[in-house]
Amino acid sequence: MLLDDILEQIGHQIPLENYRIERAYEVARDSIEGDEDQLRQVFTNLIVNGLQAMEAGGTLTVVTEEDQQTGNYSVTIRDSGPGIAPDVQEKLFTPFFTTKAHGTGLGLAVSYGIVKDHGGEIRVNSSPGQGAAFTVILPLEQGVKY
């Protein structure tokens, strides 16, 4: 599964044993249509951002769901970090906007473009002190396996 592969790959750069990683893959099907390399970039970016937002001991949750009514597949990456203020949320997908000391401000902007190109959307749900959840919603079709 792509998401597990990404977590394993990230584990070579970030010590995942310092975090609690929860997985809830609740999808009847295991594929969507899309460019695997581009979608790997999106999910890698969201997972790394989530891990970087947390102190050691934090929880990162990865959830997949299928909505049969809409025909969409969603992947939610939720962290237990400090959350994101509403005024910052409005700018998250703007190129070159960053809250990181050494960030470029391109990760979320590029991810947003990739998801849009795949006919999907990215949603963010966060409140200060409550962590952040990024949900990628994509049309569910035969294609890339997750």
Contacts of 29 (CB under 8 A, 6+ apart): 66, 73, 140
Rounded Cα distance between 94 and 98, Å, is 9
Can you give the CATH number for the domain in which 97 is found? 3.30.565.10
Return the percentage of the chain with pLDDT > 70, whole number: 92
Rounded Cα distance between 119 and 8, Å, is 27
Q: In terms of C-beta density within 10 A (0-12 exposed, 13-18 middle, 19 or more buried), how is residue 59 classed?
A: middle
Domain extent for 79 = 2-12+20-145
pLDDT level of residue 142 (50, 70, 90 thresholds): very low
Task: Please state the rounded mean pLDDT for residues 20-45.
Answer: 85
Quote the pTM value.
0.88
- What's the number of domains the chain is made of? 1
pLDDT at 24 over 90: yes
